[in-house]
A and B are shown apart, each in its own frame.
Chain A
Amino acid sequence: SAVISQKPSRDICQRGTSLTIQCQVDSQVTMMFWYRQQPGQSLTLIATANQGSEATYESGFVIDKFPISRPNLTFSTLTVSNMSPEDSSIYLCSALTARSGANVLTFGAGSRLTVL
Chain B
Amino acid sequence: TQLLEQSPQFLSIQEGENLTVYCNSSSVFSSLQWYRQEPGEGPVLLVTVVTGGEVKKLKRLTFQFGDARKDSSLHITAAQPGDTGLYLCAGAVGFQKLVFGTGTRLLVSP
Instruction: Name A's B-contacting residues (CB within 8 A).
Output: 1, 4, 31, 35, 40-45, 48, 59, 92, 94, 96, 99-110
- Is the CB of B97 closer than 8 A to any CB of chain A? yes
Beta-carbon contacts of B1-44 to A below 8 Å, as 1s and 0s? 10000000000000000000000000000010100000011111
Provide the bound-state CA to CA distance between A110 and B43, in Å. Answer: 9
- Known A-B contacts A42-B88, A42-B102; the reply to A106 vs B45 at CB < 8 A is yes
Q: Is the CB of A102 within 8 A of B42?
A: no
What is the total of A-B residue contacts with beta carbons within 8 Å? 58
Provide the bound-state CA to CA distance between A72 and B57, in Å. Answer: 38
Provide the bound-state CA to CA distance between A45 and B102, in Å. Answer: 13
Provide the bound-state CA to CA distance between A114 and B41, in Å. Answer: 17
6 tightest Cβ-Cβ pairs between the two chains A and B: A107-B42, A42-B103, A102-B48, A43-B100, A102-B31, A42-B100
- Among B31, B42, B88, the one with the most A-chain Cβ atoms within 10 Å of its Cβ is B42
Enumerate B69-104 residues with CB–CB distance to A below 8 Å.
88, 90, 92, 95-103
Across-interface contacts of B92 in A (CB, < 8 A): 102-103
A-B contact pairs, 10 of them (CB 8 A): A1-B45, A42-B88, A42-B102, A102-B33, A102-B50, A103-B96, A104-B33, A105-B45, A105-B90, A109-B40
Given A108-B42, A109-B40, 13 more A-B residue pairs with CB atoms under 8 Å apart are: A4-B42, A31-B96, A41-B103, A42-B88, A42-B103, A59-B1, A92-B43, A102-B50, A103-B92, A105-B90, A107-B42, A107-B43, A109-B42
Provide the bound-state CA to CA distance between A48 and B80, in Å. Answer: 36
Across-interface contacts of B43 in A (CB, < 8 A): 43, 92, 105, 107
Q: Is the CB of B98 within 8 A of A109?
A: no
- B102 nearest CB neighbor, chain A only: A42
Q: Is the CB of A43 within 8 A of B33?
A: no
- A105 nearest CB neighbor, chain B only: B98
Provide the bound-state CA to CA distance between A92 and B44, in Å. Answer: 12
| Nearest CB on A from B87, distance (A) | 10
| Nearest CB on A from B2, distance (A) | 11
